[in-house]
Amino acid sequence: MTPAELLLLVASVGFGGTFVALAAVTMGVSVRGRRRDRRRVKGRESVRRELLEYAYSEDREWESWLKTLSGRERAQLEPVLERYLRTVSGRDRERFLELASVIELGRRADEALDTTDVPRRLQALSTLAVVEHPVEIERLVETCSDNRRTREGVARLLYERRHEYDAPAAAGTELMLAEGTEPLTIYGMETLFDLNRGRETPLLALASERAGEWNPAVLVQVCRVLEFCQITAADASFEWLLALFEHETPAVRASAVRVLKGQGWRRSLREELPYRTLIGDDDPEVRQAVYETLAYWGDADARQLLEWAVVDESDPRCQLVAIRGLVSMGADPAVEHRGWPVTAWRWIEAEFAVDSSKRLAGMPRGPE
């Protein structure tokens, strides 16, 4: 064996040994981690059972019970307690609020707002959302306005404890959209909807003032939320929306159209909607949004516009959306509109064959 071959053999053996050693270490760490997780789960379940048993005992002395817990059990107690504070209500919740007060859960969460650590502040906001520890809006804004995630956390807190604050929906909405340059998370979108789904829609008023400052992604999110809100504000509150029909971003134009889905009863808005311009938009997403909105309205005027658009529509997906809308209005292509594309009807028939629940009662069949 040459020196070069010997050197290669030694290197191979060394590499193989290193690989085996690393594999062994990895397996060892994995096994220890799994055992640790099992102990944690087992310990938390034990604490949960004891907590429930003691919470419903006739003579509760929380201080005495807490003294029986080890340090590890005390650490496992808080997440269990918070879970029950989120899921129970009424007298049951009052029992757990007693314990939260005894261990000063709210006070410690309030103090954590002063840290610069974002995850810790988020946890503090999550805790404060379910306890009754008083915390002023001014303090929340002062400590948590520097980060999108913490702003969303404050907004969720204001929603969960909305009966304790003045105008919480307006305050939370404005805080989340204060900058308008960074899109909200899914959590933030849900919170924004919750804050605006009641009798008041502060998001609409805020958009009237600041829509011009928000980036396209935020505008799309705002429109998406408003699309599902039950809005009772005056028609003038939508004037800012009309300008979005000419926005340079197709997704914004499409989202703006969909806001009007539930507003078809507003005659003044319908008169200002540039139907023909939007139906002729270069972007298929915008045209599809128009067809969906017209189908949602479902009246004679909307049907007439769809009938006019469906034959000239060049995008197959948009064409299907338009035809589905006409079907929902009871249109019969075999009798009324032989110019409608047969291929699109065949596709719709195939959909109904797969899922008959989509077929409306008395719905006509497509052209033969």
**pLDDT at site 316:** 87
Q: Which residue has the higher pLDDT, 138 or 48?
A: 138
**pLDDT at site 56:** 87
Nearest to 130 by CA among 97, 108, 168, 175: 97
Give the count of domains, the chain: 1
Please indicate, yes or no, if residue 306 is contained in any of the structural domains.
Answer: no
Q: Name the token pair of 284.
A: 């298929």
Please indicate, yes or no, if residue 79 is contained in any of the structural domains.
Answer: yes
Choose from 48-57, 228-237, 325-334 the range with maximum mean pLDDT. Answer: 228-237
Choose from 4-8, 50-54, 100-104 the range with maximum mean pLDDT. Answer: 100-104
Give residues with Cβ within 8 angstroms of 254, minimum separation 6: 283, 285, 286, 288, 289
Average pLDDT, the chain: 85
Predicted confidence band of residue 363 (pLDDT cuts 50, 70, 90) = very low
d(CA 89, CA 259): 35
Angle between helices 148-160 and 137-144 (to 10 degrees): 160
Q: Count other C-beta atoms under 10 Å from residue 150's C-beta.
A: 21
Please indicate, yes or no, if residue 92 is contained in any of the structural domains.
Answer: yes
d(CA 227, CA 262): 7
Q: Which residue has the tokens 């004679």?
A: 300
Nearest to 270 by CA among 241, 307, 249, 308: 241
At 217-272, the pLDDT tens digits run 999 999 999 999 999 899 999 999 999 999 999 999 999 999 999 998 898 888 88
Angstrom CA distances, 34 to 22, 30, 31, 311, stand at 18, 6, 5, 62
**pLDDT at site 42:** 45
Q: Name the token pair of 302.
A: 């909307």
Q: Which residue has the higher pLDDT, 254 or 35?
A: 254
d(CA 327, CA 321): 10
| DSSP at 330 | T
Q: Reply yes or no on whether the pLDDT at 345 is more than 90.
A: no
Please indicate, yes or no, if residue 192 is contained in any of the structural domains.
Answer: no
Half-sphere exposure of 351 (CA within 13 A, CB side): 16
Please indicate, yes or no, if residue 145 is contained in any of the structural domains.
Answer: no
**pLDDT at site 171:** 97
Percent of the chain with pLDDT over 70: 81
Nearest to 169 by CA among 130, 131, 211, 198: 198
Predicted confidence band of residue 360 (pLDDT cuts 50, 70, 90) = very low
Q: Reply yes or no on whether the pLDDT at 311 is more than 90.
A: no
Please indicate, yes or no, if residue 88 is contained in any of the structural domains.
Answer: yes
Q: Which residue has the higher pLDDT, 6 or 143?
A: 143
Angstrom CA distances, 213 to 119, 208, 236, stand at 29, 11, 20
d(CA 130, CA 282): 49
d(CA 193, CA 229): 7
Q: Count other C-beta atoms under 10 Å from residue 87's C-beta.
A: 11
Predicted confidence band of residue 347 (pLDDT cuts 50, 70, 90) = confident
Q: Compute CA 355 distance to the chain's CA centroid, rounded to the nearest angstrom.
A: 28
Q: Which domain holds residue 114?
A: 68-135
Q: Name the token pair of 68.
A: 């029986």
What are the φ and ψ backbone dihedral angles of 199, each rounded to 5 degrees?
-70, -25
Average pLDDT over residues 98-113: 96
Q: Name the token pair of 217.
A: 């992604």
Predicted confidence band of residue 368 (pLDDT cuts 50, 70, 90) = very low
Q: How many helices (H) does the chain have, and how many strands (E)?
A: 20, 0
Predicted confidence band of residue 34 (pLDDT cuts 50, 70, 90) = low
**pLDDT at site 354:** 72
At 147-193, the pLDDT tens digits run 999 999 999 999 999 999 999 999 999 999 988 889 999 999 999 99
Q: Which residue has the higher pLDDT, 292 or 199?
A: 292
**pLDDT at site 114:** 97
Q: Which residue has the higher pLDDT, 176 or 351?
A: 176
Nearest to 272 by CA among 244, 309, 313: 244
Angstrom CA distances, 233 to 163, 207, 250, 322, stand at 22, 13, 27, 30
The structure's pTM equals 0.82
Please indicate, yes or no, if residue 177 is contained in any of the structural domains.
Answer: no
Percent of the chain with pLDDT over 90: 55
Average pLDDT over residues 37-46: 55
**pLDDT at site 35:** 45
Please indicate, yes or no, if residue 310 is contained in any of the structural domains.
Answer: no
Q: Compute CA 14 distance to the chain's CA centroid, rounded to the nearest angstrom.
A: 53
Q: Hey, what's the torsion of the CAs at 44, 49, 51, 57, to 10 degrees? A: -170
Q: Name the token pair of 117.
A: 């650590």
Predicted confidence band of residue 95 (pLDDT cuts 50, 70, 90) = very high
